[in-house]
């Protein structure tokens, strides 16, 4: 049998990204669609169009993987909460998919798809067992791979490293809690740290550029946030001792200026032997991770 | 074939507990030995005596499980650090076992054995997938079961819930870190919380007795510690969404007076859907968990 390809779909609040994905995670073709968030039916009409367009490109596509923004019950495929696509709240995705998708499909949340993509085809390539992805942007997303498969937990809600509490009496978090990792580690936190050191920048990317240019306050701001990231890494290491933790997201333009201090702090906070046996690296697939992961995950539903 | 039994050994800094363990985790016979911690050879001579004594009781024992106090490399079976039996530091346990144990054996750290025992024969009985044990005593130990098996991580150092950081700028911890869960959740923390509320007690057990007797300060002290426990539970829930988290150890004489406030706090801090799908219960095997788990784990090395 010739090599089979799959369709990887990464659904967001604004765009649906679709790709034809090869067995090794290469994106062979890509298409982007605007999403009309006013109803679930409209969103899935676009999903159907994307599947059709991919099949027009490649007649031999065998399955679809779809990454969904939001919290999904992994047993029933019901969306509990989708902050960026509220029209999906409470909807059973199989009811929506069956009308628009003629191929077998796999569903997962977008952060899990990203983790799976990085594990197989990105920073985790060659890792056989355990891998955790943290994606730092507006907040901290991620996913956990154990024994080579996504870890979903009792009902699919596992893999929320952004909401590990690192500060008992910390700042209120969007999740309703307080002191979660993402209250101190995010693009906004980088800007805030820079401002607290007397700087002024429009974005975390700008802080990173200035830091790479040698500006002291920017370097220090990234180190501040990096050290807090280290607390989250230490929690993951002490609980799971994964082979690899990869860190991605918009903030990672900072690279080692963020990750270096994070590694040092994790080394102090985590058990030494455990820390030394977990590699902490940069993610490599950037914005493609979710689409690649969805496409690779689709291979799991092929006979 | 008739039912086979195994030997479960729980090695501590002072005593070695040995038991004949049935397939369902019942302890059929038990013996206790004093341990001479002055050399690894003396410790393992006692291990050999315990194995021999168990075989004198039951001629059909087929395997041995041994729980070790300390951090062990799961690949090489080398002890990295055993705070209560320093004579084992750096020793390869297979070298020691081969001289004293004529049966096939399984090795793991004592906390993992306890978690496995609770999972199969205690609070996790009937749980098929994922289970986390937290044992609160001098510190917080524990173990993680995923897909029905102990999760060891890259090299066996996973499962240290006591050292998840819950307080960024918190108190120094014995591990070298700061603000770990066990700096706020332990037998000593219960006594300290009671004293900070004007009480005076010799032990956490005494605080628990007074709380059960209705003394306000004791009830509040347990609630203080319970809320901090809730932060650790929330971290575990948000990362792993396990089916069950069981809490055991000497402090659990307090029962729901500790666990109730912990559950409430975890409910605030963790994602709602994830929290609702993870049960938080009391452990049931108390001090036998390690021996039972070691005996049950031994079944894994039988052909």
Task: Please say if the pLDDT value at position B1 is more than 50.
Answer: no
Closest Cα partner for A133 from A102, A97, A160? Answer: A160
**Distance, C-alpha A9 to centroid of its chain:** 14
Q: Are A68 and A11 in contact (CB under 8 A)?
A: yes
The count of CB pairs under 8 A between chains A and B is 171
B81 beta partners: B71
pLDDT of residue B95: 97
Residue A302 predicted with pLDDT over 90 = no
B242 touches chain A (CB under 8 A): yes
Nearest by CB to B157, from A129, A164, A241: name it.
A241
- What is the average pLDDT score of chain B? 95
CB spacing of B153 vs A71 below 8 angstroms: no
Query: A269, A275, A281: best mutation site toward chain B, by most B Cβ within 10 Å?
Result: A269
pTM: 0.94
Find the CB nearest B175 among A154, A184, A271: A271
CA B278 vs CA A51, A157, B114, B162, B236: distances in Å: 36, 10, 20, 19, 10
Q: CA angle, A262 as apex, A261 and A266 as ends, to 5°?
A: 115
Q: Do the chains contact at A236 and B240, CB–CB below 8 Å?
A: no
Query: Tens digits of per-residue pLDDT, B143-191?
Result: 999 999 999 999 999 999 999 999 999 999 988 889 999 999 999 999 9
Closest-CA residue to B298 (of B54, B13, B34, B96): B54
DSSP B210-253: HHHTT-HHHHHHHHHHHHHHHHHHHHHHHHH--SEEEEESGGGG
A184 at the B interface (CB within 8 A)?
Answer: yes
**Which of these, A6, A14, A124, lies nearest to A66 by C-alpha position?**
A6
Q: Which residue of B has its CA nearest to A175?
A: B271
Using the predicted structure, report yes or no on whether residue B19 has a pLDDT greater than 90. yes
pLDDT at A175: 86
For residues B10 and A302, the model is more confident at B10
The interface residues of chain B toward chain A in range 46-105, judged by CB-CB distance below 8 A, are 71, 73, 80-81
Q: Topology of A6-115+288-301 in CATH? A: Nucleotidyltransferase; domain 5 (3.30.420)
Whether A147 and chain B come into contact, CB under 8 Å, resolves to yes
Fold designation for A127-284? Nucleotidyltransferase; domain 5 (3.30.420)
Kindly give, in sequence order, each residue whose CB lies less than 8 Å from that of residue A37, ignoring residues fewer than 6 positions away.
A13, A43, A84, A85, A86, A87
pLDDT for A2 beyond 80:
no
Strand pairing report for A15-21 and A27-34 = antiparallel
| CA dihedral angle for residue A108, residue A112, residue A117, residue A119, rounded to 10 degrees | -140
Whether residue B154 contacts residue A278, with contact meaning beta carbons closer than 8 Å, is answered with yes
Percent share of chain A, pLDDT over 90? 93
Containing H/E element for A41? helix A40-57
pLDDT single digits (tens) A82-116: 988 999 999 999 999 999 999 999 999 999 999 99
| Confidence grade of residue B83 (pLDDT, cut at 50, 70, 90) | confident
Residues of A in contact with B243 (CB under 8 A): 153-154
Mean pLDDT score, A284-298: 97
* Closest of B289, B44, B269 to residue B145, by C-alpha: B289
Distance from CA of B53 to the nearest CA of A (A): 36
- pLDDT score at A174: 86
Of A233, A141, A140, the C-alpha closest to A190 is A140
Q: Considering the domain B125-284, what is its CATH architecture?
A: 2-Layer Sandwich (3.30)
ipTM above 0.90, yes or no: yes
pLDDT-derived band at B56 (thresholds 50, 70, 90) equals very high
CB contact under 8 A, B153 and A73: no
List the structure tokens of B260: 């109730």
Residues with Cβ within 8 Å of B182's Cβ and at least 6 positions away in sequence, in order, are B139, B140, B162, B163, B173, B174
Q: Are residues B271 and A164, on separate chains, in Cβ contact within 8 Å?
A: no
Q: What is the pLDDT of residue B263?
A: 98
Short-list B29, B98, B96, B108, CA closest to B293: B108
**Residue positions counted in chain B:** 303
Cβ–Cβ < 8 Å for A42, A85: no
What's the average model confidence in pLDDT over A149-154? 95
> Are the beta carbons of B160 and A238 separated by less than 8 Å?
yes
Residue range(s) of every CATH 3.30.420.40 domain in chain A: 6-115+288-301, 127-284
Q: Which residue has the tokens 């150092």?
A: B157
What confidence score (pLDDT) does residue B2 get? 56
Hey, of A79, A109, A147, A153, which one would you mutate to test binding to chain B, going by the most B CBs within 10 A of its CB? A153
B203 DSSP assignment:
S
Cβ-defined contact of A166 to B161 (cutoff 8 Å): no
Q: Do B273 and A238 touch (CB under 8 A)?
A: no
């Amino acid at each position: 049998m010739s090599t089979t390809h799959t369709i990887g779909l990464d659904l967001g609040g604004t765009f649906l990204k679709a790709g034809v994905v090869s067995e090794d995670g290469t994106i062979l073709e890509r298409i982007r669609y605007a999403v009309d968030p006013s109803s679930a039916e409209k969103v899935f009409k676009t999903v159907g169009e994307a599947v059709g367009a991919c099949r027009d490109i490649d007649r031999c596509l065998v399955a679809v993987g779809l990454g969904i923004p939001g919290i999904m019950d992994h047993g029933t495929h019901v969306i509990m909460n989708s902050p960026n696509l509220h029209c999906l709240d409470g909807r059973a995705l199989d009811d929506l998919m069956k009308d628009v998708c003629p191929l077998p499909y796999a569903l997962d949340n977008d952060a899990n798809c990203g983790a799976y993509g990085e594990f197989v085809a990105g920073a985790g390539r060659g890792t056989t067992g355990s891998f955790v992805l943290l994606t730092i942007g507006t907040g901290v997303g991620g996913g956990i791979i154990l024994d080579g498969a996504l870890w979903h937990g009792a009902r699919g809600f596992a893999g929320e490293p952004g909401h590990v509490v690192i500060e008992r009496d910390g700042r209120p978090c969007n999740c309703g809690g307080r002191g979660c990792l993402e209250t101190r580690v995010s693009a906004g936190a980088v800007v805030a740290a820079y401002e607290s050191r007397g700087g002024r920048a429009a974005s975390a990317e700008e802080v990173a550029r200035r830091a790479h240019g040698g500006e002291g306050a920017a370097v220090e701001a990234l180190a501040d946030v990096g050290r807090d990231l280290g607390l989250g890494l230490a929690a993951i290491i002490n609980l799971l001792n994964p082979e690899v933790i990869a860190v991605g997201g918009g903030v990672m333009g900072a690279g080692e200026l963020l990750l270096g201090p994070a590694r040092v702090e994790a080394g102090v906070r985590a058990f030494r032997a455990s820390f030394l046996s977990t590699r902490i690296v940069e993610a490599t697939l950037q914005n493609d991770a979710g689409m690649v992961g969805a496409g690779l995950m689709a291979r799991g539903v092929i006979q």
